[in-house]
Homo-oligomer: A and B are copies of this chain.
Amino acid sequence: MIHPIPPGTRDVLPDEMRELRALSARLRQLFEQAGYGEVRTPALEYEDVLRRGDDRAASAPFRLFDEHGRVLVLRSDMTIPIARLVAGRYRDAEPPLRFSYFQHAYRAPDRGRTSAEFLQGGAELIGSPGSEGEAEVLSLVAEGLTAIGLRRHMIGVGDGSLYRTLLSELEVPEEEREPLLGLLSERRFVDLEARIERLDLDPESRRVLVELPRIRGGPEVLDRGAGPAAAAVEGLRDLHAALEARGIADRVIFDLGLVRELDYYTGAVFEVYDPAVGFALGGGGRYDGLLARFGRDLPACGLALDLQAVHTAQAEEERLS
């Protein structure tokens, strides 16, 4: 007799649970010490509330009706619920505000993702603009990952608005932009290039659209001419300086093609890696417009780790050492 569980979910047995709990407890302790108090929000949210944050977040796969016919969804991330919470419960609190969370989020399994239920551990810094805020979050995460044994971890840094700006400045037709961003967010460079080649653009614009998102490396890549994306690259140079001041600049790989799936990112975006495993351990970025949609206009940035992925990386690093 086999009693199945839904695709993308799993049972966690005691040995693994003990390690996951230890991992979460260590990160929680570090986040708390840095002033990032933990919050918890409901697993279910009203769809129209999440939609205020991001259309894509609201089209979560797990949707149901309450007894009044309103649509509820299982939260697909924690950033939007925290924006809702801050605008409501911290309406008059003096920024900056710092929060952490250790909760599950729910998304549909797809080609790049086999899980439907994620244990996320993350931090959100609200009310601290620009590269100083970003550097604070990145150094917190770097400290956390080092503390749990991922001494070789790296952080990819790009700009979430860069390619969108490029598409607009180079006058790529509106209806082409989302498909191109979608391909880029899945890192399907071959398909991206093929689609760009079919656009009615001058060869130089096409070249920029194809080559710029492939630029990846140390701070020296930020010195190349970025044309219409110069402002975004300038922001990344600021961030590099702030990371250098905090002594973690060598953790970072600049990646001009880094695009996160959600629309609310307005500036720097992050993705976390470890050389022992072939998948991202988490990500985040700056979302300066999100809080205003809930009624409190504050800049913000944050990063969420997929703790199951972090745990796998931790085990691999131990095995290799």
Contacts and interface: CB of A to CB of B under 8 A. Distances in A.
Contacts of A14: 37-39, 99
Interface in A243-301: 294-295
Interface stretch (A80-88, A186-194, A200-208): A80-88
A265 to B, nearest CB: 21
B104 A3 contact: no
Contact of A46 (B5, B74, B84, B99): B5
A18 B43 CA distance: 19
A32 B42 CA distance: 27
Contact of A11 (B1, B12, B40, B64): B40
A310 to B, nearest CB: 16
A41 interface: yes
A56 interface: no
Name the interface size band of chain A.
35 or more
Contacts of A87: 1, 3
Interface string A52-81: 100000000111101100001010000000
A14 B62 CA distance: 28
A294 B3 contact: yes
A271 to B, nearest CB: 26
B42 A3 contact: no
A46 B106 CA distance: 16
Interface in A12-46: 12-15, 17-18, 20-21, 25, 28, 32, 37-46
A4 interface: yes
Contacts of A99: 14
B88 A9 contact: no
A195 interface: no
A39 B13 contact: yes
A195 to B, nearest CB: 27
B6 A42 contact: yes
List of 6 A-B pairs having minimum Cβ-Cβ separation, nearest first: A14-B37, A9-B42, A1-B295, A12-B40, A64-B64, A17-B38
10 contacts: A2-B88, A4-B46, A5-B42, A5-B46, A6-B44, A6-B72, A11-B42, A15-B37, A18-B37, A43-B43
